[in-house]
Amino acid sequence: MVGAGRVNSTRAVKNALASAVERAGRSRHVRALNNGALVGARRGHSSCGRQQGGAVRVNASVVDAPRSPSPSRVDLRDDGSPTSNGLFTNTNPEVRRIVPTEEQMMGKTTVVKVVYVVLEAQYQASLSEAVNKLNNRDAKTSGGVGIEIVGYLLEELRDADNYAQFKQDVETANVFIGSLIFIEELAEKVIEAVQPQREKLDACLVFPSMPAVMRLNKLGSFSMAQLGQSKSVISSFMKKKKKQGSGGFEEAMLKLVRTLPSVLKYLPSDKAQDARNFMLSLQYWLGGSAENLENFLLTIAKAYVPEASKLESVLIAEPVVFPDAGIWHPMAPAMYEDLKEYLNWYDTRKDMKFEKDAPVVGLVLQRTHLVTGDEAHYAATVMDLEARGAKVIPIFAGGLDFSGPVKKFFFDPLNKDRSYVDTVVSLTGFALVGGPARQDHPKAIETLKTLNVPYMVSLPLVFQTTEEWSDSSLGLHPVQVALQVALPELDGGLEPIIFSGRDSRTGKSHALHDRIESVCNRAIKWSELRKKQVRDKKVCITVFSFPPDKGNVGTAAYLNVFGSIYKVLKGLKEDGYDVGELPETDKELMESVLNDTEARYNSEDLNVAYKMSVPEYQKLCLYSEALEENWGPAPGTLNTNGEELLVFGKEFGNVFIGVQPTFGYEGDPMRLLFSKSASPHHGFAAYYTYVEHIFKADAVLHFGTHGSLEFMPGKQVGMSDSCYPDSLIGSIPNLYYYAANNPSEATIAKRRSYANTMSYLTPPAENAGLYKGLKELSELVASYQGLKSSNRGIAIVNSIIDKAIQCNLDRDVNLPEVDAKDITEDERDIVVGSVYKKLIEIESRLLPCGLHVIGCPPSAEEAVATLVNIASIDRPEVEPPILGLPTILARSVNRDIEDIYRNSDKGILDDVNLLQDITMACRAAVGEFVNESVAKDGRIDVTFVDILGKLSGAKEDPWVEALKSTAFKNANKEEMEKVFNYLNFCLQQVVKDAELDSLMKALRGEYVEPGPGGDPIRNPDVLPTGKNIHALDPQAIPTSAAVQSAAVVVERLIERQKLDNNGAYPETIALVLWGTDNIKTYGESLAQVMLMVGVRPAPDALGRVNKLELIPLEELGRPRIDVVVNCSGVFRDLFVNQMNLLDRAIKLAAEQDEPSEMNFVRKHALEQAEELGVSVRQAATRIFSNASGSYSSNVNLAVENSSWNDEAQLQDMYLSRKSFAFDSDTPGAGMAESKDIFASALKTVDVTFQNLDSSEISLTDVSHYFDSDPTNLVQGLREDGKKPASFIADTTTANAQVRTLSETVRLDARTKLLNPKWYEGMLSSGYEGAREIQKRLTNTLGWSATSGQVDNWVYEDANATYMEDDEMRERLMETNPSSFRKMVATMLEANGRGYWDTSEENLERLRQLYQEVEDKIEGVE
């Protein structure tokens, strides 16, 4: 195969060079003719202007030979990089250049030069055919005109050589044509090249594009500028459409195109004629066939190129009109505009016979591909589906609103309420309503809900050739990901599989047969879910076990997995599924899967569902050989008894509950150091082979956040058949329960494992409360407030100080070292205020308590804390805008809430008290409001919920009652009503339960409504759960609100560091960008990076954020601070466009000629350029992540599995896996290994920094945070060996805080690990809850390993809570002995590694305990 590829590319070079020589020869012939009678209509450079009086101009530029391609520009790519120029495409515009030959110009006098720029290549073939036909006409029928044409794909203009040639071509052109120019930075390049030549061009036509490009239009007296002002028919149309936006614009333009020419034909004025010509041109262009384009070029030349006067005598045909919407089939005699007519033809075909109940697949096609004859990829898809026994209805539309044709052609002609199709596959890649510019997602969702079938969106390659995509580790071009993957997801689109490629020479689309096979197979599998009897359907429920340990089977974020599965099985049984003999309880269900509660992983203690022989595995798993490079020959060493591969799990009738194997390299320190991740092991492949080929599942349900399938190596987006997630999932429809608050990883599952991700609620939040010594301290503070003026005041302050020290608050609060009598009363107030503020911070912190069970809405009491927090945020973006409760209550006592926040932060006692009063009043008001809706069992009764409707003035509003006896009784009634109207809506959403319902719908082959993922407090639109989660339009962030919030955090961070650093500014801040955080906050941390370097993001004309403005130093008022940005692998996959923007922003700062003490970015880039011998621009590389297809630094895996020797080994993992850089100058090269620049940049770091943005996930809840923490690594790299300061921004409440890392770890320990409210909540979930406690302890150890910022008392108190208490020990031992063993081992490890200093008595107890729990697990009495 390799040899063949080489031969082909060599042949391609020879052919291209030969044709270049031929072209150069052609232009010499033209030059010779020019000395005779030929007039070149092509314009010369400025010295050859048009002569007055319409005289013929002779054009010197006719003699310019077109640029011949250098070998490097013809499909020859460097090994390891997708294109030799580092861009996404390396295609050569010269393949679109046609110069008439000497023979073709016989008897002709004029050459008209046309230059065009288009988004996609589908017009290339028909335009080339049209020009060749014209040039082959004789002198008479061509009007003496020959056409020279050259075309550029928009993406090619990124290349400097191409752009220079483009400008040169425009300078010598008569006619410029542009279409679908919707990428801002490239639109600017087009304007820059065309605008200066606009007056000299004979005609300039731009079809739907960005407004600034549309303004280039010029046909005689017609221009778009005029459209906006005149009173013409077109003018009023344009104004009306502008207001409507979305796909309707193109629809209405099409209608206008159809009717206007006939009206304008009879208008005498020149203006009307020019407007008519524009509309006629658009009609020819949208007609797209070679015949229409031939007549289009003749029309423009005849009307606007003075030298083409002989065309007057040539008759030009009117546009051949194709239906704007209809049904097309490659074998059909015509296009159909009626479904019945199409079915009459279809059902009487002689060449195909279908089963009576054959699945029917609806395809959505782009009309332009059909009219330009570029439809081979569509035909191949139709044929493949039919060959598999499916009927096909392929519909198309001319505009970009496909909702009308969907309604017209996909419903049963005999019953308009019933869908005729079983699955819809859009092959356009676009959102259902509205193309690349504006979308109308609500309209699309409404249409798809009515149709109610699965909706897949497959895509053609637009900006890359097949070879470029195939070689790219990124996969699909980021602009195409933003337009054709992210936007269709907002409609509920699934499975972004690439089905067609593009030929670099002809520009034509061609079928990618293996990908089309995958699309068709999967579409039919979705259709079968509608056809198959429920009792015959087979479902595989897949659970995870991470990290691999006996106590970890059924891991998922915030979810009681076995409790939820039990609920799902009961639901399936009610629906008629065969679930065999169901155990009595969820605990029994768990035990039957685990075989015994303490499931041992690497042995057969897990129930073995199937033993697969190696020959069977190799026969069924077609990619098994590829795994041998990493894992040796099958069966390998994992999930095997040495001879066979073992599939763990248990069957219940037609439901198989299986345990997904893990990555397999967690316990191998050497593998963890590899910079790229290994392939799945044989056991992993055998599991999915079993599910698809032996159990024959109709669907797989991955249960909870999250497994390993979607994180296996392969392209980031746009998988090929050699990408492991694609190979593993095969053709099985993939349903996936995903935590609602994690849209970023859900999106990875959606794109890389083709999952329909259905959200589940995270457990309801409660306030952490106070306990033990903290509660006593709070009582002391309360007594001080009453007695501070009495003679007991001083004694109480001394008691407060002693108690605070006892509670380890002395590192969080400045406590005096002298007796309270030796300080002033004001100082005593500040001490008590600061302690009180810290207690309130602990008490009011939100905790998700317990674990969620699928399909279980929260109780009223559980909903209160969530609603209080929803009510605390000002929401200027909703309609009508809402003020948060704290803002309203503060105003009612004539105070500003921001002032109160600031003073409270300083420990000013009166404002600490006032803020606490406001908080308690908010809780009381919301509590009263919720109490109105409680059913007898304490759950919220859905029938009660519309509280506002129920009260209807009969009695006083509950919140008024709650505030009566407070200082806030005069709160603005109107504003309060707005808040509670909003809360009423939110409460209804919280208690609607669609989680089970969505699963049942998906299993019936129905449409699952999409919805955003994120934090329900920040964005209540996340509710109700059970929606098909999507992220957001990646080009919409950061929003202006996010930039404002980011400015506050950046200012507080810098001030906090200056305070701790003798007033000096930090020179470099190392920070982490997470995918989910940026989705939840609409890009706050993205904006923080830009503001640090002193650059502001700005939107383009369509509102997409892809421009930058430098903030002048005078306005910035401080130095530009350098950054080192570590992007998570998920952020890298979702936000490549934003990485591009960040890299441009940092390089923009580095290139400013400013003093080094005011621009640390430039200062360091200059130093690094010299040190490393690279350019300043290269040295300013600051955006890093993993290699494409790899995730995480593996530090978390090493810590979780105790598979590391020392901290240096962890630091090596981080350096080797996180040192891949993104470069906006070569975006197509993907992530390039840049260890030297990475290490050099980290050496300058003064501050490490991360963001916490939602109450559900804090530092010790997940391992990701410490996995990305470079604190100790920076200390090792810095020449002075100084440990950088570490800060965490907490924006979980309206009052954003910047705390040190150690403060945040202490806050986390106090509110979770050591808090009875939290751990009792967890233990109430039994086996899984015990594991959650163990996880927090392990993650605490992780922070010790990467930062050394965990206080000794945290381990000491954890030991007292879990190991010294007899009753607690017993409960953990009984509930989940494996997790308890891990806890004991973690405590011993913390001591062994020097993170915890404790008594020998404690250590002896732990060693004894370890032996006891080991004996219990091994069954030793």
The rounded distance, in Å, linking the Cα atoms of 572 and 694 is 22
Q: Which residue has the tokens 């980290």?
A: 1242
Question: What pLDDT is attached to residue 551?
Answer: 59
Higher per-residue confidence, 1206 vs 756: 756
* Residue count (the chain): 1421
Token pair of 33 as six digits? 């003719």
Check whether 54 has a pLDDT greater than 90.
no
Q: What percent of the chain has pLDDT over 90?
A: 50
CA–CA gap between residue 266 and residue 278 (Å, rounded)? 16
Write down the pLDDT at residue 447: 95
Q: Tokens 């036909």: give the residue.
A: 133
The residue among 756 and 11 whose pLDDT is bigger is: 756
Do residues 1291 and 1049 touch, judged by C-beta distance below 8 A? yes
The pLDDT, as a whole number, for residue 1017 is 84
pLDDT at residue 1369, rounded to an integer: 92
Q: Is the pLDDT of residue 4 over 50?
A: no
| pLDDT tens per residue, range 696-736 | 999 999 998 888 899 888 898 999 999 999 999 999 999 99
Element (H or E) spanning 278, and its range?
helix 270-287
What would the mean pLDDT of 55-73 be, rounded to a whole number? 29
User: Which range among 289-298, 420-429, 846-855, 1155-1164 shows the weakest confidence by mean pLDDT?
Assistant: 846-855
Q: Smallest Cα–Cα separation from 335: which of 327, 343, 344?
A: 327
pTM of the model: 0.83
Closest alpha carbon to 887 in 930, 918, 924, 844: 918
Residue 952 has pLDDT above 50, yes or no: no
Q: Would strands 1232-1233 and 1247-1252 be described as parallel, antiparallel, or unpaired?
A: unpaired
Higher-pLDDT residue of 605, 907: 907
Within 10 A of 870 (CB to CB), how many other CB atoms are there?
Answer: 25
245 has pLDDT over 70: no
Which one of 11-25, 655-669, 737-751 scores highest in mean pLDDT? 737-751
Residue of 651 and 1100 predicted with greater confidence: 651
What is the spatial distance between Cα 793 and Cα 806, in angstroms, rounded to a whole number?
20
The predicted structure's pLDDT at residue 597: 42
Regarding predicted confidence, which is higher, 576 or 671? 576
Residue 55 has pLDDT above 90, yes or no: no
Q: State pLDDT tens for residues 1286-1343.
A: 999 998 887 888 999 999 999 999 999 999 999 998 898 888 889 889 999 999 999 9
What average pLDDT does this structure show over 546-562?
73
* Per-residue pLDDT band at 645 (split at 50, 70, 90): very high
Take residue 680 and report the two structure tokens written for it: 């799945």
Residue 9 has pLDDT above 50, yes or no: no
| Overall average pLDDT of the 147-152 stretch | 96
Where on the phi/psi map is residue 53: left (φ > 0), alpha (ψ -120 to 50), or beta?
left
pLDDT band at 41 (very low <50, low <70, confident <90, very high): low
Q: What are phi and psi of 80, to 5 degrees?
A: 85, -10
Confidence (pLDDT) at 74? 28
Given the structure tokens 């006939």, which residue do they identify?
A: 262
Tens-digit pLDDT profile for residues 441-464: 999 999 999 999 999 999 999 888
Tokens of 552: 């970890």
| The predicted structure's pLDDT at residue 48 | 32
Give the span between the Cα atoms of 712 and 146, in whole angstroms: 55
pLDDT, tens digit, for every residue of 109-130? 999 999 999 988 888 999 999 9
Per-residue pLDDT band for 792 (boundaries 50, 70, 90) equals: confident
The rounded distance, in Å, linking the Cα atoms of 1305 and 11 is: 63
Question: How far apart, in whole angstroms, are the C-alpha atoms of residue 1144 and residue 1095?
Answer: 10
pLDDT at 1033: 78
Question: Alpha-carbon distance 333 to 1421, whole Å?
Answer: 82
The confidence score (pLDDT) of residue 960 equals 85
Tokens at 1159, concatenated? 């621009």
pLDDT averaged over every residue in the chain: 84
pLDDT at 820 over 50: yes
pLDDT at residue 496 in the model: 95
DSSP letter, residue 319: P
What does the alpha-carbon distance between residue 555 and residue 562 come to, in Å, rounded to a whole number? 10
The span from the CA of 920 to the CA of 85, in Å, is: 62
Using the structure block, give the residue that is written with the tokens 């301290």.
Answer: 777
Average pLDDT over residues 41-45: 45
Which residue in 177, 159, 19 sits closest to 99, CA to CA? Answer: 19
pLDDT at 383 over 90: yes
Q: Where are the alpha helices (DSSP H) in 872-994?
A: 885-892, 897-905, 909-931, 947-951, 958-963, 973-991
Q: What is the pLDDT of residues 326-379, one digit of tens each?
A: 999 999 999 999 999 999 999 999 888 899 999 999 999 999 899 888 999 999
- Residue 50: pLDDT band (50, 70, 90) is very low
Compute the distance between CA of residue 18 and CA of residue 16 in angstroms, rounded to an integer: 5
Using the predicted structure, report yes or no on whether residue 227 has a pLDDT greater than 60: no
Q: What is the reported pLDDT for 553?
A: 77
Rounded to an integer, the average pLDDT of 521-530 is 97
d(CA 843, CA 763): 18
Calculate what percentage of the chain has a pLDDT beyond 70. 87
Q: How many CA atoms lie within 13 A of 453 on its CB side?
A: 31
Q: How far apart are CA 850 and CA 85, in angstroms?
A: 54
pLDDT in tens, 599-632: 443 334 678 899 999 999 999 999 999 999 989 9
* Cβ atoms of residues 1181 and 1145 within 8 Å: no
